[in-house]
Structure 1
């Protein structure tokens, strides 16, 4: 009864006292942490499968060998490598790191919803619509970028191992390999968010589509340089795997921005809608027709300073 009454007393615009805001923030954080903890515990039972999911494509590409005899046999045609772990505590700390990272990713729908539920009451209706659209488009773009990283990493590994000395035992520390994989996935995923950022700036009125279209030469050069720096290998295939999709999405974002600019200009030309208030123009049409306001007539001067019945003209 008290809980339902408290909900009914809330402001429809989402306004509440500071204490209620802090209380709600605490509840949202607790729910998010519980979801992360549960997902981390579940991922701990499958962390070996998670590690193999990221490392097996790389090992298949570089021709992993598990013994020196197999390594010496494979050096005639290709360079081989094998994964190693150094230290007694390394497997345990790696299991914790992989489990926690997987728990954060697996529980992302829960804590992202908690974040949205905390912020949404303070947004207007059109702001909620745009934010939901951007989140719905941003997640697939990040997944697409992560997939490109996962697809290009084996090719990068095979190119990098070509610089190894023939007959050497190429050992890949598992921690470094996983850090490289995670870094590439994050870099590729965030890079694919660039077109969405440009569209957000356009919808916010900060950047026009015409200006974006005029930047195409510089953007192509900048995206190419970024792809060359972000990819650890020196082959052009890996660089194009990152730069090519971003080129396409940049021109797609430019097209969307140009259409939005045309829609905005057409709406401004049509004027406000029936349910919108128009701006009041308080400027006079013809200043010359305005009659000057006359001042109040002054009181007549007193003829004499003699008081009549004790009072003068003023009093």
Structure 2
């Protein structure tokens, strides 16, 4: 067997070991949380329950739904709590193949993107859900009694978590585009009006049809875009003209 084949197999074995360690970490946290699966779902349902009429509860239309929905929520929470271990395993696998300057940039980006995604979920849970559910409760006709299905509620919550989590990744995307040389900071400033319009279009598609929740997604997206421009200054590549200016000014024949 050639040396190249042996190296490839060694990488596959290491990848398998890293994945197994990450999965074991998630499973261990999941097993520890399972006795409180019902309470974890109740915590997730709090924003909705606060807007329902007194004495009203969610419903479960499926036979096994009352069991599987809390299990899904608990698995999601277990993955979030085990995320440091998962990220470490991913970092330990790719770090040996990176140059020193790539490691200096990659680690902050990985950690920053993870923190931003969690911040997006937290912003959605603590600020957006209350506004959205309050709007829905006030808009609903008085002749009906809302009784949301727990499975549909979970689907809605997960889609909103994903939307806001990805939205909060905008600074990371901007930094990567600048670092890769795809765009420069001047171009990012030029397209700012189009980004603002695009943010409101995305918010109108993703969020429920109320103006407040659309603003609560679009405005952070625009602010995070501006934050990305500010942070991108620290990683942007100098233009060739600027790179040659010091050499030209230091040339004695040029004077």
TM-score tier by shorter-chain length is: 0.7 to 0.9
Answering whether residue 204 of structure 2 is matched by residue 228 of structure 1, we say: yes
Deviation >3 Å, runs of 4+:
255-271
The one-character-per-residue Cα deviations of 1:251-270 (angstroms, maximum 9, x if unpaired) are: 22223435655856655544
Map 1:1-315 → 2, pairs under 5 A: 17-60=7-50, 62-66=51-55, 81-150=56-125, 151-234=127-210, 236-258=211-233, 260-261=235-236, 266-267=242-243, 269-270=245-246
| Alignment TM-score, normalising by the size of structure 2 | 0.86
Q: Matched residues in 2 for 1:120 and 1:269: separation?
A: 35
SS at match of 2:182: coil
Compared with structure 1, are the counterparts of its residues 202 and 228 closer, same or farther at alpha carbon in structure 2 (3 Å cutoff)?
Answer: same
> d(CA) in 2 for partners of 1:138 and 1:54?
23
Corresponding residue number in structure 2 for 1:310:
none
Gap change, CA 1:268 and 1:112, over 3 Å in 2: farther
Q: Distance in 1 between matches of 2:21 and 2:171?
A: 33
| Residues 125, 269 of structure 1: alpha-carbon distance in 2 compared, 3 angstrom cutoff | farther
Q: Secondary structure at the match of 1:207?
A: coil
Distance 1:104 1:259, change over 3 A: closer
Distance 1:141 1:162 in 2: 32
Structure 1 contact 156–233 (Cα < 8 Å) conserved:
no
> Which residue matches 1:302?
none
Provide the aligned C-alpha RMSD in A: 2.2
Asked if the contact 2:124/2:160 (under 8 Å) is kept, the reply is yes
Instruction: Report the Cα distance in structure 1 between the residues aligned to 2:170 and 2:74, rounded to whole angstroms.
Output: 29
CA distance in 2, matches of 1:132, 1:270: 32
CA distance in 2, matches of 1:230, 1:88: 30
Conservation of the 8 A alpha-carbon contact between 2:41 and 2:70: no
Please state whether the residue corresponding to 1:170 is helix, strand or coil: coil
CA distance in 2, matches of 1:259, 1:117: 26
Whether contact under 8 Å (1:160, 1:233) holds in the other structure is: no
SS in 2 for 1:84: coil
Displacement after TM superposition at 1:58 (Å):
1.9
Using the alignment, how far apart are the partners of 1:270 and 1:155 within structure 2? 55
Spell out, residue by residue over 1:80-110, the C-alpha distance to the aligned partner (whole angstroms, 9 max, x if none). x531112331112223222222222221111
Higher mean C-alpha displacement, 258-267 vs 28-37: 258-267
Q: 1:17 is paired with a residue of what secondary structure?
A: helix
Which structure ranks higher in relative contact order (CA pairs < 8 Å, sequence separation ≥ 6)?
2
Structure number having the greater helix percentage? 2
**Structure 1: which 5+ runs fail to align?**
1-14, 67-80, 272-315
Q: Number of paired residues?
A: 241
Alpha-carbon spacing, 1:32–1:167, altered in 2? closer, same or farther (3 Å): same
